[in-house]
Amino acid sequence: MILMAKPAKRTLIATVEATPNIALVKYWGKRNEERILPMEGSISVTMDEQLKTRTTVMFSEKFKEDEAWLDNKKLEGKELGEITKQLDVLRKRAGVGLKARFVSINGFPTAAGLASSASGLAALACAGAKALGLELSEHELSVLARMGSGSACRSVLGGFVEWKRGEREDGSDSHAVQIAPVEHWPEIRNVIALVGEGRKKVSSRAGMRQTVATSPLYRERIRTLPGTIKTVREAILKRDLPTLLEATMRESNNMHAVMLDTWPPITYLNDVSKEIIHATHALNESEGKTIAGYTFDAGPHANIYTTQEHVPKVRKMLEGIPGVAKVIVCGPGSGPKYLAGKQEHLIDPVTAEVRRHHYDAKSNKIVVEA
Ligand code: PMV
C-alpha cells in the first residue's frame, strides 16, 4: 500500500501596519457612491509610525461567518459591512469561499478622533491579499482599499501621494500613485494639534453626499481643483514650501467653505480651530514668509504642515492657544509594513483565537499579550 502524504495546509494569515495620510488637496464628493469614485483627484502625505494601525486578517475553515474587531470592540452592522465588502473582493479574486477574522487596533497617542479609517482599511487590503497569497500590484491594492473608504487608497503608498480621479465607470483607473518618496523631502512635518472633542457630528460619507447634492459653490470647487492639484504636485516636486503651504491653506478653506454652503450647513471647525488659522497667518506674517500651513479634515483638529527647522516655532504658537489639548509631530512615512513575526499577529495562527492586545501610549507600541 502506498501512503500518500497529505499536502500541508497553509495558514492563511497576515499582519500589516499602515499609517494614516493627511490630504493637502482634499477629497470631498463622489461621482459614484457604490464604487466610491471621487469627483476629482486629491493629494496627501502618508504619515510616519507615530500613528499606526495594526491589522491581522485570517481566513479559515473554522470560521462560520466573517467577524471583525476594532480596538477590542466587536463590529456589527455598517462597520462590519465595510470590512466584508473588501473581504468579498479578495475571496472572489483568490477563488476561495473561506470566512475570515479581522482584528485591528489603532496605535495612536490618543483616541481623540484622529482619522483612522484610512490606515485601517489600507491595512485590511494589504493583509487580506497577503493572507490569501495574492500577488497584487500597488495599483490593485489601492483600488481595493478605495472600496472600503476613499481616502484609504492613498495610505497604500508612502511619501507624497496623488489619488487619480480616473475616467472608467468600473473604477479600475481610480487609484493612488506616488508623486515622490519620503527621501525626496524627508524634512516635511505635520504638527497635529488635537483640540477638544473629536467625535464627528456628521460622518464624512454623509457630509460629502449632502454637499454634492445641495451646494452651488461646490461646482466652482470642482472647476478649480485640477489647477490646485497641478500647483500642489509641482510645489512638492520642486520642494517649494511657501507655494505648497499657501495652496494647502487655501484648499482647506475652500473645502470648509463648501461645507458651510451645504444645506443644511455642515461645520467641523470650532473656535479653537479658527484661533489656530489666525495664529498661523500671524506667525507667517511675523516671519516675513510662509513657514506654516494649516489643513483641517472633517473635524476640528489642525494639521499644520511645515519643515523640521520650523517645528519649534509652530509648537510654541500652538502651545499658546487655550484649548489645544495635545501636539503630535509626524514626519512622512513609507507606507504599509508587513509584520512577519508569528508573535505579532493579533490572532493566534494555531488556535485562530483573538489574542489579548492593547496599545501602550507611553511607549507608543502595540502590545500583543502572550
Ligand atoms: O475616505 P473618507 O470617507 O474618510 O473621507 C475623507 C475625507 C477628508 O478626510 C475630509 C479629506 C481627505 O481627502 O482625506
What is the percent of the chain with per-residue pLDDT over 90, rounded to a whole number? 87
Residue nearest (by alpha carbon) to ligand 1 atom 6: 151
Average pLDDT for the chain: 93
The Cβ of residue 124 has, within 10 Å, a number of other Cβ atoms equal to 30
The predicted-structure confidence for 83-101, as pLDDT tens digits, reads as follows 999 999 999 999 999 999 9
Cα separation, 258 vs 274, in Å, equals 16
Ligand 1 atom closest to the CA of 255, numbered from 1: 10
The Å distance, Cα 41 to ligand 1 centre, comes to 12
The predicted-structure confidence for 186-224, as pLDDT tens digits, reads as follows 999 999 999 976 556 788 999 999 999 999 999 999 999
Which residues on neighbouring strands pair with residue 18, listed in sequence order? 53
252 in ligand 1 pocket by Cβ < 6 Å?
Answer: no
pLDDT score of 370 more than 80: no
pLDDT score of 332 more than 90: yes
The predicted-structure confidence for 238-284, as pLDDT tens digits, reads as follows 999 999 999 999 999 999 999 999 999 999 999 999 999 999 999 99
Cα separation, 86 vs 90, in Å, equals 6
Half-sphere exposure of 136 (CA within 13 A, CB side): 23
The Cβ of residue 169 has, within 10 Å, a number of other Cβ atoms equal to 10
Cα separation, 73 vs 42, in Å, equals 32
121, 151, 248: which to mutate for ligand 1, most atoms within 8 A of CB?
151
Q: For residue 236, which amino acid is it?
A: I
pLDDT score of 115 more than 50: yes
Cα separation, 266 vs 210, in Å, equals 9
Q: Give the containing element (helix H, strand E) for 353.
A: none
Written as nine digits, the cell of 225 is 481643483
Q: Do 356 and 345 contact (CB within 8 A), yes or no?
A: no
| Nearest CA among 171, 148, 133, 166 for reference residue 82 | 148
Q: Which residue has the cell 495558514?
A: 11
| Size (the chain), residues | 370
C-alpha distances (whole Å) from 103 to each of 86, 139, 156, 308 are 14, 24, 18, 35
SS3 163: strand
